[in-house]
Structure 1
């Protein structure tokens, strides 16, 4: 329903709740006065759930992710991770941004080792563990390279490996493939799904791409135009593993039309 707030806590899901977003509101003070970015968002994110969030630019997707990450404070309401209120960043949540956020002065291996050292793993053990995570993203042969020597897709793989090396319970991803070419994006989508199914992380993934949301997620959240609210929740019942051939199926196309039509209506609201 357009403009109607939806509550994901009503979903029939027997898995434990990993993250609870409780009536979160976020107001920014701008030169033109107050701007409400989020207005009463409530949802539960379950253990090992893959959620994708879509919506028009400015609907508060990244604001919501940053509040869950502890990088922003809500104006009102609260976020809980494993039952504890989020008060800043924490090792239980890992973040991967569209910008690769790698340390340019460190090699690929040492970028991943940084996350391990934050967990207290050092020396030879950290090196061995870092190589395991680089193997996971098929970059073990580039361990001694520097970020400037890598392509965009390879840099993002390093960022994902480093995020996993931190062993967060929740992986927050803000359009991590948005700046990549179509072929690289498709490849990383496949690799991310394989890693998620193997590692059993809870994933909260923001994207502008409806096809990407459907190919990855168990649940797609559609955000309304500013002020950001949950407009609709769409369950994706397409079984895994999903491939690029999945996009050709009738079920996929129907879901794409259903979600895109709602996103487009919100886009029109932004333009008014």
Structure 2
């Protein structure tokens, strides 16, 4: 078995925001590692600063102090190396599906013919071939999120930052898109950091889960999730799924019935 290689380290990251009553500390020395081709989920109470962590990694915010180390070198941000996908698909309604997925490539100035061919390959892979000329308002929520995921992957980021991308969808659609995501991550050998409030989703998808405290936020624990997952549905049927589910619920002080089926 190969030894996991650290891709990104967050070392004692601090962040406060100003208010009329003075500084409000949000991150209080946050420290954890992300491995190459990791699927790492971050869970924690509402308002604990999960999105702040993403914004610092992506270069949208600066940490007050602490270090980020990427593949052995200290950096200020991972701008240009991450793809950031949010709960809202943020598709432009006046652009077709193909134009939406091509947007990042065109901004970057890639050759249009090569970009279109690559985009069509992705659309075919994700079951959206034939919808190239469709507009977002004609698509279902799940299809729109697939378009948003393709747009993110097409930029070939080193790390995918996923901020609750499926939380607004119905359960059946979420299961399907979780499977699409896992297949894409394996095919394109990507590292994923997922922020989620859904413990079920964190256990089903993740190799490791970072559990955060309330504000000011620190890492309470990092849990290894040892589950065979040929699909998210099969992961939920694994004999150890319930044990991990209850363990993570206890980290967040979520009360669950002992006889609850998970």
* Structure 1 residue 133 corresponds to structure 2 residue 122: yes
Question: In the alignment, which of 138, 144, 148 is matched to residue 149 of structure 1?
Answer: 138
Structure 1 residue ranges without an equivalent (≥5): 1-12, 267-272
Question: In the alignment, which of 169, 191, 196 is matched to residue 207 of structure 1?
Answer: 196
Aligned-partner Cα distance in 2 for 1:217–1:246: 10
Aligned-partner Cα distance in 1 for 2:128–2:92: 17
Equivalent residue for 2:61? Answer: 72
Three-state SS of the structure 2 residue aligned to 1:20 is strand
Three-state SS of the structure 2 residue aligned to 1:142 is coil
Q: CA-to-partner distance for each residue in 1:60-101, whole Å, 9 max, x for gaps?
A: 111111111111111111223334444456221110011112
Aligned pairs, number: 254
* Structure 1 residue 221 corresponds to structure 2 residue 202: no
Tell me the CA shift for residue 160 of structure 1: 0.6
Q: Is the 8 A contact 1:219 1:236 kept in 2?
A: yes
Question: In the alignment, which of 104, 121, 129 is matched to residue 93 of structure 2?
Answer: 104
Aligned-partner Cα distance in 2 for 1:264–1:134: 41
Question: In the alignment, which of 110, 113, 116 is matched to residue 105 of structure 2?
Answer: 116
Q: Is the 8 A contact 2:85 2:161 kept in 1?
A: yes
Three-state SS of the structure 2 residue aligned to 1:38 is strand
Question: In the alignment, which of 237, 247, 270 is matched to residue 226 of structure 2?
Answer: 237
Equivalent residue for 1:58? Answer: 47
Equivalent residue for 2:177? Answer: 188
Of 180-189 and 135-144, deviating more is: 135-144
Q: Is the 8 A contact 2:228 2:235 kept in 1?
A: no
Question: In the alignment, which of 221, 237, 250 is matched to residue 261 of structure 1?
Answer: 250
Aligned-partner Cα distance in 1 for 2:219–2:114: 44
Q: Is the 8 A contact 2:227 2:238 kept in 1?
A: no
Q: CA-to-partner distance for each residue in 1:239-270, whole Å, 9 max, x for gaps?
A: 2313314323331001101111111269xxxx
Aligned-partner Cα distance in 2 for 1:153–1:172: 18
Q: Kindly tell me: are residues 245 and 239 of structure 1, through their superposed partners in 2, closer, same or farther at Cα, counting changes over 3 Å?
A: closer
Q: Name the TM-score, length of structure 2 as normaliser.
A: 0.91
Q: CA-to-partner distance for each residue in 1:197-236, whole Å, 9 max, x for gaps?
A: 1111010000000010011100011110111111111101
Task: Considering fraction of residues, name the structure with more helix.
Answer: 1
Three-state SS of the structure 2 residue aligned to 1:250 is coil
* Structure 1 residue 26 corresponds to structure 2 residue 37: no
Q: Is the 8 A contact 1:71 1:89 kept in 2?
A: no
Q: CA-to-partner distance for each residue in 1:161-212, whole Å, 9 max, x for gaps?
A: 0110000011111111111111111111111111111111010000000010
Aligned-partner Cα distance in 2 for 1:78–1:103: 36
Task: Tell me how large the CA RMSD over aligned residues is.
Answer: 1.8
Of 186-195 and 74-83, deviating more is: 74-83
Aligned-partner Cα distance in 2 for 1:49–1:154: 26
Q: Kindly tell me: are residues 164 and 72 of structure 1, through their superposed partners in 2, closer, same or farther at Cα, counting changes over 3 Å?
A: same
Q: Is the 8 A contact 1:24 1:42 kept in 2?
A: yes
Q: Is the 8 A contact 1:174 1:205 kept in 2?
A: yes
